[in-house]
Amino acid sequence: MNLNQITLPVKDMKLATKFYRDLGFTQIVDTEHYARFECTEGDSSFSLSLQESDFNSGVVIYFEHQELDTWVEDLKTKGFKFDQEPEDQTYLWREAVLHDPSGNKIKLYWAGVNRLNPPWRTDIRS
């Protein structure tokens, strides 16, 4: 089994698509109400869906990059504002935090081998 995609709600499609293209993603679907992006590595994608009513999704989306600190510095030169600069976390990931124009929380991170194999990993199955 593999995760196909995540869809985030957005308030302004034009503003949101520009934000994600400026983050470095390639937009592969473009409509007034729906957009889809391809990640720069691997075969993952994510999409945006226009929501006309107010929302608070509570979703946190994570984008991984080995050169996290360099990526964050590059984004800051483009005008991106971060709520948290890259910091080492107790769960062995290094993360920076920002929000998209619709308020969706984004964590840019690098976890290395700890992404799927932290020291406390278990393999619980039915």
Superfamily of segment(s) 5-113: 2,3-Dihydroxybiphenyl 1,2-Dioxygenase, domain 1 (3.10.180.10)
- The pLDDT of residue 63 is 97
Percent of the chain with pLDDT over 70: 100
H/E run at residue 13: helix 13-23
Q: How confident is the model at residue 57 (pLDDT cuts 50, 70, 90)?
A: confident
- The pLDDT of residue 27 is 98
pTM: 0.92
Strands 105-110 and 60-64: parallel
Centre a 10 Å sphere on the Cβ of residue 106 and count the other Cβ atoms it contains: 22
- The pLDDT of residue 70 is 98
